Amino acid sequence: MATITTRDIIQELIDGDGTTHGDPQCLSIWEYRQVPTRKIVWCVVYVKEDLKALVDSHHEIIKCLWNKREGKLGDAHENNDRS
């Protein structure tokens, strides 16, 4: 699992079908709000256990932006977006 704070990197992963710069393809990309800062960040899930760790972290999960089965589901927000 990787936590990413840069929107451009996440958008590159989404547009690149879950991979970038020769990295292995991820399983899914999630957008969530960090607790307590409320800043939007992203989680790149590489194995199923990573998703469980994200859910167990008690962060406010916003949505899945991309997954291996369905492809692109959305675009990344700006990480200062508080809507």
Phi–psi pair at 82, nearest 5 degrees: -115, 20
Q: Residue 57, exposed/middle/buried by CB under 10 A (0-12, 13-18, 19+)?
A: middle
Q: Are 24 and 46 in contact (CB under 8 A)?
A: yes
Q: Per-residue pLDDT tens for 45-78?
A: 998 888 888 888 767 887 899 999 998 888 877 6
pLDDT for 19: 92
pLDDT for 79: 57
Question: Where do the domains of the chain lie?
Answer: 2-72
pTM (predicted TM-score): 0.81
pLDDT for 18: 93
Q: Are 24 and 41 in contact (CB under 8 A)?
A: no
